[in-house]
Amino acid sequence: MTQTGSALLEVRNVTRLFAVRGAKGSAPAMLRAVGNVSLSISRGECVGLVGESGCGKSTLGRLVCGLDTPTSGEVLLDGRPLPPAGPSSSEAGRIQMVFQDPFSSLNPRMRVGESVGEGLRTAGCRRRQPMSAAERREAVARVFDSVGLSGMESRYPHEFSGGQRQRVALARAFVTRPDLVVCDEPVSALDASVQAQVLNIMRDLQEELGQAQIFISHNLAVVRFMCSRLHVMYLGEIVEELDCSRLDAAAHPYTRALAAAMPSAGRGRGELVVLAGELPSPLSPPPGCRFHPRCPRAQDICTREEPAWKELAPGWRVRCHLA
């Protein structure tokens, strides 16, 4: 993990449980969406969070933003517990989130410039004195110019294409100049050419403003392009943390399978790693290593004992008996 002394954000042993209604007359079952997760992020760092759908990535992103509350564990910002989200929060504007579907996250009855400027109104841009209306308009115009939508502040969301709406969502996230932006599958709904445009804008903004980012995705190729460090999540748990430069030498079989699934012009058909079975239900996770029912290397110990963290190198650790 990153040295906690320099960390902007720390997630310490966070677990999030949800009660799931069972059959009539039976007690609710407890679903562990996130289980005992710890990670840290430094200022200006872009960290990836990858895994299959349903592994808990988005839930962890909402916990980091304060949109949800951990069942146990804690989230720290600059060493202090993260307060509840909301305009009255003393940390309002310091953490922002970009959602997967920009159309559903934008008010269809508000002009996009008003939607983007609303963040400056509620957060005050972390200034002692609230921004005036003229200052807000100027800040909104600047951020629209940064995302390639100069002069379009007076339009409504339905007047934009999908890629343009995602740029509006980026403008809304970056206008308060936050310390951390959580990006939850921000380009998965876009075609390849538009994806490239949006990703380049995100990288330019992150480098220009120096914000930290958590980039959540199931697409390892996109995460490798955006991030310097990677956390691999499986069934609510992080199973490997490593630099993206080490991805070709990943230690966990699940990380290797994800890496092998990335498109590559030089890879033969026989080199694809196919995982057996489906992702187990988080309501009844398998004993021992949660990945063992699908692991091609699983041994008897994997079915009985939960693997502990192994430190392979500075910044590289894995939860696997066979690593």
Assign 217 to helix, strand or coil: strand
Average pLDDT of the chain is 86
Question: 100: closest CA among 220, 222, 187, 221?
Answer: 187
Assign 184 to helix, strand or coil: strand
The model carries a pTM of 0.87
Assign 3-state DSSP to the chain and report helix, strand, coil percentages, each to 5: 35, 25, 40
Lowest mean pLDDT across 26-40, 231-245, 264-278: 264-278
* Predicted local confidence at residue 4, as pLDDT: 40
For residue 140, give the amino acid letter: V
| Max CA distance (Å), the chain | 67
Question: 322: closest CA among 279, 284, 288, 271?
Answer: 288
* Predicted local confidence at residue 125, as pLDDT: 47
Q: Residue 232 and residue 252: Cα distance in Å, rounded?
A: 9
Tell whether the model's pLDDT for residue 87 goes beyond 80: no
Tell whether the model's pLDDT for residue 3 goes beyond 50: no
